A and B are shown apart, each in its own frame.
Chain A
Amino acid sequence: GNSVTQMEGPVTLSEEAFLTINCTYTATGYPSLFWYVQYPGEGLQLLLKATKADDKGSNKGFEATYRKETTSFHLEKGSVQVSDSAVYFCALLKAAGNKLTFGGGTRVLVKP
């Protein structure tokens, strides 16, 4: 079946540091890949997406590239801010299916 594995947190960083959250997936066919973010006390928000190999999703300074050869979709940001403190979820959606399969989430804490 489908699965998503992402690095466990918490990840603690200083402001302006570089952030990488690793995400790998297992799926048949060609899934779409997503990163969702959950800020403290809020609901899940779509951060970025990629629908085919080599696509790069980007939003709010975050980027992730769909790498089919390594089945990965790592999230990166060059200079984090305190406001980026949140839980980040990697997820996949099979092209012919409807349900999102989520990774376990990675908590990120950015300190000033």
Chain B
Amino acid sequence: GAGVSQSPSNKVTEKGKDVELRCDPISGHTALYWYRQSLGQGLEFLIYFQGNSAPDKSGLPSDRFSAERTGGSVSTLTIQRTQQEDSAVYLCASSRRTGTGGYEQYFGPGTRLTVT
């Protein structure tokens, strides 16, 4: 079946511009996550959506970062006024959120963001 998809695969932007990154989770998965993978920081959690509950935004590094999930499916991560330190691979994952343990998360291919 189709996996998690992300677009664009690569994005180069100038410092100070806004960018939007898109994630399409696996059909039927109710939980959606954003992570960031960078050389200096490794893999970091950013934000988590589960159904209609309020998202867990505890990993967002600044108020320039925001995300929304429309209709319980597609999600968009927005970075405003991009800075060079925002350069990273942004990963989206989804899970079925089973009732006990597991909570296996399946990752998309990522969006490589380069801020010049």
Q: How far is the CB of A25 from chain B (nearest CB, A)?
A: 15
Q: Which of B33-53 contact A (CB under 8 A)?
A: 33, 35, 42-43, 45, 48, 50
A95 to B100, CA, bound (A): 8
CB of A99 within 8 A of CB of B102, answer: no
Say whether A82 faces chain B, with CB atoms less than 8 Å apart: no
Q: Which of A38-72 contact B (CB under 8 A)?
A: 42-46, 49, 51-52
A82 to B109, CA, bound (A): 22
Quick one: which of B45, B102, B103, B110 contacts A43, CB cutoff 8 A?
B110
Say whether A19 faces chain B, with CB atoms less than 8 Å apart: no
CB of A99 within 8 A of CB of B45, answer: yes
Quick one: which of A44, A49, A93, A98 contacts B107, CB cutoff 8 A?
A44
A103 to B37, CA, bound (A): 12
CB of B109 within 8 A of CB of A32, answer: no
Say whether B78 faces chain A, with CB atoms less than 8 Å apart: no
Q: Which residue of B lies closest to A30 (CB)?
A: B101
A103 to B42, CA, bound (A): 8
Q: Which residues of B contact A42 (CB under 8 A)?
A: 109
CB of B91 within 8 A of CB of A95, answer: no
25 A-B contacts, Cβ less than 8 Å apart?
A32-B102, A32-B103, A34-B104, A43-B107, A43-B108, A43-B110, A44-B93, A44-B107, A46-B104, A49-B102, A49-B104, A51-B101, A51-B102, A52-B101, A98-B33, A98-B48, A98-B56, A98-B103, A99-B56, A99-B58, A100-B35, A100-B45, A100-B93, A101-B45, A105-B42
Show the binding face of B for A, using Cβ within 8 Å: 31, 33, 35, 42-43, 45, 48, 50, 56, 58-59, 91, 93, 100-110
